[in-house]
Amino acid sequence: MISAELDKAYQQAKHQLEIEGFTLTDEDEQNMKAVVSGEMSREQLIEQLKRV
């Protein structure tokens, strides 16, 4: 589970992206939280995004 501090940081980053015109999907949110919590490496995320 993601800590409250990490969740707050995620929400701030998400808000900033939305201000800049980006929209995050539920899958984006899950992937970002997986990287932050250590369940997925950045490299794994990059490889997954390349396949899309």
Q: What are phi and psi of 28, to 5 degrees?
A: -60, -45
pLDDT at site 2 = 59
pLDDT at residue 1 is higher than 80: no
Q: Provide the 3-class DSSP secondary structure of residue 2.
A: coil
Domain span at residue 12 reads 4-51
Residue that wins the pLDDT comparison between 2 and 1 = 2
d(CA 35, CA 1): 12
Residue 47 confidence (pLDDT): 93
Q: What is the DSSP letter of 49?
A: H
Number of domains within the chain: 1
pLDDT of the residue at 29? 87
Mean pLDDT, residues 27-48 taken together: 90
Q: Is the pLDDT of residue 33 over 70?
A: yes
Q: How far is CA 45 from CA 13, 19, 21, in A?
A: 17, 24, 22
Q: What's the whole-number average pLDDT of the chain?
A: 88
Residue labelled with tokens 């984006």: 28
